[in-house]
Amino acid sequence: MVVLFVVCPLGFLFSPFRIPKIPALLLMTLLCLALLLRDKGFSRKALWHREPLRGYIKNILFRAAFVGPALLMMVWFIDPDTLFNFPRTRPALWAIVMVLYPLLSAYPQELIYRFFFFRRYRSLFKTESRMIWASTLAFAFLHIIFLNPLAVLLTIPGGYLLSTTYIRTQSLLVASIEHAVYGNLVFTIGLGFYFYRG
């Protein structure tokens, strides 16, 4: 656990070579998936468990109704010039990000930090609350690679929300959809710089 969730982000951060973020994330996803597939009790159907989505979609929309305005106010106070800058100045690239972010970033991160983390390390944490916080802090720690405190601080409440969603639904797909909603809001409203280039 320490190697994957502490050493690897630090290795990425201090690497003397420029490593592309998305390929590195996908490589880590494949590693975690390979470890999952070695587990005899693992069912591949769990990767697309969608039954809870219908009952939980209202919760995702309800949370987003609060998260969106909160992010909007944050950008307004931090740097109002960047408000909706991405869709205004580069609409075609913004549209591509809206489609690819859920597939190439949100789903892989949820597979690693919720699905894999909860399944593999549950025995290390005696309570559900400790499990949620361990996942949340590991997820936030990943964001040190962006070299700014805002990315780390915002992913603490974000990671907590996603961890609680996963605990309640036991669905990687549901957690990934919620992650995609928040991520797309971040890029749309004007905080994307902090979560890509850093």
Q: What is the mean pLDDT of residues 9-13?
A: 95
Residue 1 has pLDDT above 90, yes or no: yes
pTM: 0.94
pLDDT in tens, 49-98: 888 988 899 999 999 999 999 999 999 999 999 999 999 999 999 999 99
What are the residue boundaries of the structural domains of the chain, listed by start?
2-40+48-195
Q: What secondary structure letter does DSSP report for 16?
A: S
For 115-149, b/e burial (b = at least 16 CB within 10 A) is bbbbbebeeeeeeeeebbbbbbbbbbbbbbbbeee
Q: What is the mean pLDDT of residues 158-182?
A: 96
